[in-house]
Structure formats: C-alpha cells, structure tokens
Chains A and B, each alone.
Chain A
Amino acid sequence: MTDAAIVDTSGDTRKTGRYVYVSAVVLLCAWVLVPIYFLLINTLSSPDTVNSFPKPFFPEFDLGSLTFFANFAGMLTALKNSVLVAGITMVLSILIGAPAGYALSRFEFRGKELFRLLILLTRAFPLPLLALPLAVMFIRTGLDDTVFGLALVHTTLAIPFAVLITFSLFSGIPLELEEAAWTLGCTRITAFTKVVLPLILPGITASAIFAFVISWNEVFAAAVLTIENRTLTAFLLQNLDTSPLHLKFAGGFILVVPALIFIFAVRKYLFAMWGIANR
C-alpha cells in the first residue's frame, strides 16, 4: 500500500516537473516569437489593417509597405553600408582580438590581470560619452562619414567579446597538444595552423558572428558618425521617427530579418561557442 503511494507521488512529481519544463520552454519561445510574428503580420498588412483593432492573426500578404521601402531612396545603400561595416568589424575584431586572446591564455606577462580588466572597462563607458569626442576626432582625421571609420568604432565595441571568447577557446585547448606538435616537427606557427586553428575554428566563427551582430544592431555611433553613408539602423532611425505606423513595422521587420537569417545559418557555431555539443 505504502509502496504504491510512494510510487504514485514520485510519478506525480515527475509529471509536474515535466509540465513546468514544457511550459517554461513554451513561454520562452513565445517571448521571442510572438513579437516577431506580430512584426511579420503588420509588415504584410495594408496601412488600414495596421491601424485597426483587433489585429488579424494571419497576414494579408499586402506587400505595399515593403515595396515602399524597396523603392525608398537610400534604402539599398544603407543596407549595403550595414553589411560592409559589420563585415569589416567582424574581420578586424577577430584579427585583433584572437591574438590577444591567445596571449592571455598562453603567456604569463606583467599586468595580465589589469589588461583583462581594462578590456572589459572599454564597455563600462556609455557610448554617447565616447561618440562625441570620437566624432570630433574623426572629422579632424577625415574618417567621419566613412564606412571604415564606423567599422573602427564598432570594432572597439566588439573587441572585448572577441578577446574574452577567444581567450576561453584557447584555454580549452590543452597546451600539451601544441607541445606535442612542436616535438613532432612543428614551429610555433605551424603548430598553431595545423593543430590549434582547426580545433578552435568553430569558436572563432561564433565570435566573428557575435561581432557582426553587435555592429549590425549598433545605432548610436552610426547615427552620430555618419550623415551620407548611414547604416540601415541609423537610416531607419532617422526616417521612421516621422513615418506612419505601418512603415515603422515594415522598417523594424527589415532590420530584424537579416540578423535572424544570419544567426540561423551559423547557429551550429554559436552552440560550439557555448560548449553545447550538437553532433
């Protein structure tokens, strides 16, 4: 009797646990998906529907808003700028960040701890505080309103993550592997390219994607430092402010979708960065 009772309660507990688990998963998914879904509906709706209430649950496939954006002057240039800036940021932050991460993980040097702290401190200052002096400096050096100049600022923002992510990646590779390569005929450089690089490539890719997304989403520096060569975020911020509601939705949709597609395409590497085995 008592045995049966115990079995029953434990079964109940397990069932309850499962319900909590499933509902938590559903809640989290909804948290992310519902706003995106509404964005999609409103983007694909005619202006009248967007302003009406209640909203329909299925899109009308009215491409009016999107067509408007496609034909809007400067829109494609802004998209191109965004991709360029994010691309340069991605490359630069890895080229600069990965060697720093390697040095932090493999070498002992004076001020190592301070260096790690300082890297993080670059994120402690609010961007507006940095953006104005930067704007002045950029105007003096002629870097203002260029794709490269903005990419430099975004690189600064992305580097702390690049350094710390690659630091933990390199630390995850036992030094013995490198040493084994040295004793088997490798120099420091060939040991790196033949042994370390293949092992951390997924992680490096993830950290590059992270840099890309940071740059893609950044709006403040982009708005301050560029006028003609605006990125998509800065361009939409400037124009959407005064636009009707349906265009705001469409603009938001255009901003979100490329980043989503990009992350979806490389999700495998993101998992690798977080150490989740997905194979």
Chain B
Amino acid sequence: MAEIQIKNVAKRFGDYQALHDINLTIADQEFMVLLGASGCGKSTLLRIIAGLETASTGEVWIGGRRVDHLSPKDRGISMVFQNYAVFPHMTVFENIGFGLRMQKLPDEEVTRRVERTATLMHIEQLLKRYSGELSGGQRQRVAVARALAMEPDVILMDEPLSNLDALLRMEMRAELKGVLAESKTTAIYVTHDQVEAMSMADRISVMHEGKIVQAASPIEVYRNPAAEFVAGFIGNPPMNFLKATPVGAGKWSVAGQVVEGPNTGPGPLQFAIRPEDMQLAESGLAATAKVVEPLGAHLLVTCEVEGHMFRAVLDSDMTVRTGETLTLAPLPDRVRWFDPETTLAVA
C-alpha cells in the first residue's frame, strides 16, 4: 500500500516561485502523469517527492508515513532519470543489483531479482556489458530494471523516454505501461509529451506555472478541460477558441451564428471546440480555408473565422481547396465554454 499525499507543497528558488501550494493525492497502484511545458514545475514536484529537492513549505506522505524530512533512500521510492544515469563503471548486472547490494541482501536473492527484472525488460543477454557498450534504448531498459529490482512502493520517472527516437519511444511506452501495471507499484511519470501522457496515465495532472490546473483521467482532461490552458495544451491540434457575446438567456453569438450555451451573466465567454468535432453542413460557422494538409488518416484544414485561426480535422475523402469557404457545424454536445476573466471552464 503506497498512497501518496502532497499537502500544501510550495517551492521557492530565491525570488522565483516554482511551485504554488500543491495538493495532490495519488492512489495506491495508480499511474499518475505530471504533464506540462518545460519550466512548469513538474520535475521540481517529482524531485520533492523523491527527496532530491526540499519543499519550502508543505508535507509529503507516502504510504501513511510523513517522508519530507527523510533522505531519498529511506522513502521507499526508486527513480528513473531522463539521462538514464546508468553507472558507467559497472556492468549491467552490477547496475541492476546496486540497490539490492546496498540493502545487503544475500547473493542468491540479488542474482534472482536481477535476472528476473532483466528478463522482464528483455536485457538478460546484456548482463555482462558496460553502459558504454549499450544503445540509448538498452540503457533506458537498464535504468528501469534497476528501479524495478528494488521492488519499491513508488516508482518515479522523470521524462524517461525523451532521449529515445520516436519509434523506440512508442515501443517503450507500451512496454513500460505493461510492466508497471504488473509490478503493482504506484507510479509518477513526468513528461511534456501529451501523447505519452494520454496513452499511459490512469490520471493526468496538467501543470502550468507552478500550479496543478487539472487532475483527471486522460479522457476527462481531453473532453472536459478545466481551464483554457488545458484546452489549448492538450490535443494536436489543440482546441479552437472564438469569442462569444450573449444575445439572450442561454443564447450566444459566435461569429455571426447563434449557439445554445450556458445561462450566465452579461459578460462575454470563450466558445471552444475541438477540430475533429465539426462537420460540414448547410448552416454553421463560415470558415475560409487557408492551408490544407492531407495527413493520410484525415485532412487538417487551417481556416480563418472572423480573423481568428480556426482548425478543422475532416475526413480524408474530402477535397478542400485553399481559399474555399467551408460551413462548419460544431457537434452541440462537444462545445465547451470558458470564462475569459478566470480562464476556467463554465458548465
């Protein structure tokens, strides 16, 4: 059992506030992804959980035990680093067994666990090699095996796949997810790659400027972004935004069209729709196609609606010519609304 609780954690580096009052609970055996652009504080938060960084204020609890005053070795965690951090003066076997030797486990136990995790990560034939004789992907496998061999309560991963090439990244992504699910450890995974986050996570915490903007399941983050930032960050291409002005109770004018929306006060709102949630129809938003990109599976059209950039993902059978005016009808149940003052979602 290792539930992780982060209570009111803040971190300052001199004048710079890297983390603002973070509160987060990660359930036992949950796969939590911290997602955000570089500099959003996600790595800092991970390092605070690991004990490599000290929080300025706040508490960290792992498995019902307060750990923020403990050194990394006493927290029941193990970590996988972005640059692998495989010890160059040791063989793969010694690397994987390093933590076990530090725990003074008997030789047979060390050998058994090293061989088991090495087999799990498909590197059993590399045990006698040194890190200099391995490829990037193999090194990453060693780093993961080394963390798993510790049989930790919590495994922390700091952008572990970002140094691998695209194909290898995709392969390792699926493999990591399987291995971690089997190991029954709680996992926190830091990444800036939303595809990685969407495909691996049980829950995603989207971070922005030292705050957690939304912590929810991948599909929830995608369908119901809690704030404009999340809507604009998740999805490739991200959500489209248009200004909406009220024209009556629950009626909004968006680019000359009247759309049903929330019944809020007199101020304007932001109308938001995902590019794939639109259909060509008789009536709808008038969009002038500017760039047409056939992507194989579908057609990405970058248009202009009332001077704003507006993207639509259409079926690849369509033929759209540059300069053509499209009539795009948003799917009513996929439209989302944001308050421009607070940038938060409006129901």
Contact = CB atoms under 8 A, between A and B. Distances in A.
Contacts of A195: 87, 89
Interface string A145-180: 000000000000000000000000000001011011
Contacts of A183: 50-52, 72-73, 77-79, 156
A183 B73 CA distance: 5
Interface string B87-130: 11100000000110011000000000000000000000000000
B240 to A, nearest CB: 40
Interface string A190-232: 1000110011000000000000000000000000000000000
B322 interface: no
B73 A187 contact: yes
A66 B235 CA distance: 85
Interface residues of B, number: 24
Contact of B73 (A174, A177, A184, A194): A184
Nearest to B101: A185
B195 interface: no
Interface in B47-86: 50-52, 71-73, 77-79, 81-83, 85
A177 B85 contact: yes
Contact of B71 (A180, A187, A198, A199): A187
A182 B71 contact: yes
A50 interface: no
Contacts of B143: 180
Nearest to B47: A179
Contacts of B88: 199
A186 interface: yes
B336 interface: no
Given A179-B52, A179-B79, A186 B85 contact: no
A180 B102 contact: no
Contacts of B156: 183
B78 A184 contact: yes
B99 A184 contact: yes
Contact of A185 (B81, B87, B103): B103
B9 interface: no
B83 A184 contact: no
A contact face: mostly helix, strand, loop, or mixed: helix
A105 to B, nearest CB: 17
A84 to B, nearest CB: 33
Nearest to A179: B52
B102 A176 contact: no
Contacts of A198: 89
Nearest to A173: B88
B237 to A, nearest CB: 34
B141 interface: no
B132 to A, nearest CB: 10
Contacts of A190: 102
Contacts of B81: 176, 179-180
A184 B52 contact: no
Contacts of B103: 185
B274 interface: no
B158 to A, nearest CB: 9
B77 A186 contact: no
A187 B52 CA distance: 12
Nearest to A197: B89
B50 A184 contact: no
A137 to B, nearest CB: 42
A182 B74 CA distance: 10
Contacts of B89: 195, 198-199
Nearest to B84: A176
Contact of B83 (A174, A181, A182, A199): A174
A176 B150 CA distance: 18
20 contacts: A176-B81, A176-B82, A177-B87, A179-B72, A180-B81, A180-B85, A180-B87, A181-B87, A182-B73, A183-B51, A183-B72, A183-B77, A183-B78, A184-B150, A185-B73, A185-B99, A185-B102, A187-B73, A195-B89, A199-B89
Interface of B: 50-52, 71-73, 77-79, 81-83, 85, 87-89, 98-99, 102-103, 143, 146, 150, 156
Given A176-B82, A179-B79, 20 more contacts: A179-B72, A179-B81, A180-B81, A180-B146, A181-B98, A182-B51, A182-B52, A182-B72, A183-B51, A183-B79, A183-B156, A184-B73, A184-B98, A184-B99, A184-B150, A185-B103, A185-B150, A187-B73, A195-B87, A199-B89
Which 6 pairs across A and B sit closest by C-beta, in order of nearness? A185-B102, A184-B99, A180-B85, A176-B85, A183-B79, A182-B72
